[in-house]
Amino acid sequence: MKNKVTAEAQITWKINSGNISFWWDDWLGDGNFASNIWNFFSAAVGVQHVHIPLRSFLMRWWRQEYKNEVQRLLIQLPLIILWNLWKNRCAAKYGTMQSNTARVKFLILKDAIHLLSTDYPYIQSGVAQCL
């Protein structure tokens, strides 16, 4: 604590000097990268991806009625999408990995298939051949 005053004197903040476009545009769904991912998966489950706040979009997705148990599991897909977009963001920002929509889509599909095969182990053998 005794170094706090010295350290804080060295911290500078310049308004409008930062760049948060990756966080805002590409993770929350407003930019091309995340919109591509959200459009791909939301179309597959019948939820229209429109430019509304993420919270509203997720509520629309989660309030959707399901007709069978597989659809019930796929209602959890936004969590998988968000997790993989977050991992991609961190890998691109802090690691050496380039953002790639095909790779992120593959990882989301892989996680979704893992979720399905956990609840329905009898489909696991056919799924393994796809990957």
From the list 99, 72, 76, 69, the residue with the least C-alpha distance to 86 is 99
pTM score? 0.69
The answer on pLDDT for 125 being more than 70 is no
Q: 21 is written with which tokens?
A: 């476009």
- DSSP one-letter string for 100-127: -HHHHHHHHHHHHHHHHHHH-GGGHHHH
Give the pLDDT confidence of 72-123 residue by residue, as tens digits. 777 889 899 999 998 888 888 888 878 888 999 999 999 988 888 887 777 6
From the list 37, 40, 16, 17, the residue with the least C-alpha distance to 26 is 37
From the centroid of its chain, how far is CA 90? 12
Residue 103 has a pLDDT of 92
Amino acid identity for residue 50 in this structure: V
Domain spans of the chain, in order of start: 20-130
Residue 121 has a pLDDT of 77
The answer on pLDDT for 129 being more than 60 is no
> Residue 20's pLDDT band (boundaries 50, 70, 90)?
very low
The answer on pLDDT for 13 being more than 80 is no
> Residue 23's pLDDT band (boundaries 50, 70, 90)?
very low
> Residue 9's pLDDT band (boundaries 50, 70, 90)?
low
